[in-house]
């Protein structure tokens, strides 16, 4: 029996699972930072140049 | 105050933990990358094929370290759970729940790589023997901890409930470890113990190097996830706003 497909499949699964486990929190952090910055921009605009809310 | 006690208190402070872990993470990735490259080279290129298993023995260099980590991460997760329940340390709660997806990943890789090794060696992908079944139960325990945490809206309540489940699930670890001795299983008994190893050094070293690499990988993933959760939970606090303004560093 040729063992190569089993070996490469095992390593491919490991690489995919470990890469996803490592990268998912990095992507999540980027999304969170972008959302926070967008929110801060909106809040900064609504506060106006004096730093007090216009509403 | 003793040095250890002061360190414990510092560790429990979210801003200190965030800054400290931020400095540590890149070094953990570097150590992981170097060790993984060295271990894979030794395991896939230098190490010989096994006289019985043939080339499929190379799956062991990813399967065995992943299996060890699946048990170790669970024990560490339950340890953080105990800290969270007894001392109500919020950083411990976050480390507990951040461990679960990484542990689940190790368990998944253990099960899949073991199954792919089993087909050429045992002639089957899966048997319901004690070792394989108890490892599958471990995966369900990790998923249970994640699911239970996500079922609550309030993070501190969620962490307490998930910690309790993690601690109860500890009972599965000795079952996994001793399953090959207590029952007649297809899975072979441990080849490495406190009294030595039955594996030839040419195969043992890549295994040990990969085992060290996976520990650094766990450390890096755990701290990255914990930092994210801390920042998300504390986004209204001054230290978190300052960290976010600096780009999350």
- Rounded to the nearest angstrom, the gap between the alpha carbon of residue B128 and the centroid of all alpha carbons in its chain is 24
Q: For tokens 């441990």, what's the residue?
A: B190
A21 vs A28: CA distance, rounded Å: 12
Give the gap in angstroms from C-alpha B144 to the nearest C-alpha of chain A.
18
Distance from CA of B123 to the nearest CA of A (A): 11
ipTM confidence? 0.93
Q: A10, B59: Cβ pair inside 8 Å?
A: yes
List pLDDT tens digits, range B94-134. Answer: 999 999 999 999 999 999 999 999 999 999 999 999 999 99
**In whole angstroms, what is the distance from residue B107 CA to residue B101 CA?**
10
Q: Which of B60, B65, B71 is nearest to B177 (CA)?
A: B71
Looking at the complex, report in whole angstroms how far the Cα of residue A38 sits from the nearest Cα belonging to chain B: 12
Chain A CB contacts of B120 under 8 Å are 1, 3, 6
Which residue is associated with the tokens 């894979």? B40
Reported as a single tens digit per residue, the pLDDT across B223-240 is 999 999 999 999 989 999
Among A36-45, B22-31, B140-149, B189-198, the least confident range: B189-198
Q: What percent of chain B has pLDDT over 90?
A: 80
3-state SS class at B176: helix
Neighbours of B241 (CB within 10 A): 15
Domain ranges within chain B, ordered by starting residue: 39-46+58-188+198-234
Contact yes or no for A10 and B248 at CB 8 A = no
End-to-end CA gap in chain B: 30
User: Phi and psi for B185 in degrees, rounded to 5?
Assistant: -115, 160
């Amino acid at each position: 029996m040729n063992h190569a497909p089993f070996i490469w499949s095992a390593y491919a699964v490991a690489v995919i699972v470990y890469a996803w486990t490592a990268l998912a929190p990095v992507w999540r952090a980027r999304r969170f930072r972008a959302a926070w910055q967008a929110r801060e921009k909106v809040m900064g605009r609504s506060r106006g140049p004096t730093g007090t809310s216009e509403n | 105050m003793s040095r250890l006690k002061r360190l414990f208190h510092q560790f429990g402070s979210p801003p200190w933990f965030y800054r400290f872990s931020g400095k540590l993470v890149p070094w953990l990735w570097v150590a992981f990358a170097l060790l993984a490259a060295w271990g894979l080279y030794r395991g896939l290129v230098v190490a010989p094929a096994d006289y019985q298993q043939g080339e499929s023995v190379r799956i062991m260099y990813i399967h065995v370290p992943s299996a060890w980590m699946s048990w170790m991460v669970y024990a560490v997760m339950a340890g953080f759970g105990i800290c969270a329940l007894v001392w109500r340390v919020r950083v411990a709660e976050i480390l507990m729940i951040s461990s679960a997806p990484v542990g689940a990943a190790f368990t998944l890789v253990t099960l899949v790589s073991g199954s792919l090794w089993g087909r050429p060696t045992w002639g089957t992908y899966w048997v319901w023997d004690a070792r394989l079944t108890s490892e599958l139960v471990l995966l369900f325990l990790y998923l249970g901890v994640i699911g239970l945490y996500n079922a609550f809206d309030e993070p501190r309540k969620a962490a307490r409930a998930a910690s309790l489940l993690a601690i109860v699930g500890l009972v599965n670890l000795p079952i996994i470890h001793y399953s090959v001795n207590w029952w007649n299983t297809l899975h072979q008994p441990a080849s490495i113990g406190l009294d030595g190893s039955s594996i030839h050094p040419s195969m043992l070293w890549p295994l040990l190097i990969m085992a060290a690499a996976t520990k650094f990988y766990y450390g890096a993933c755990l701290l990255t996830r914990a930092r994210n959760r801390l920042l998300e939970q504390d986004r209204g606090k001054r230290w978190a706003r300052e960290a976010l303004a600096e780009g999350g560093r």
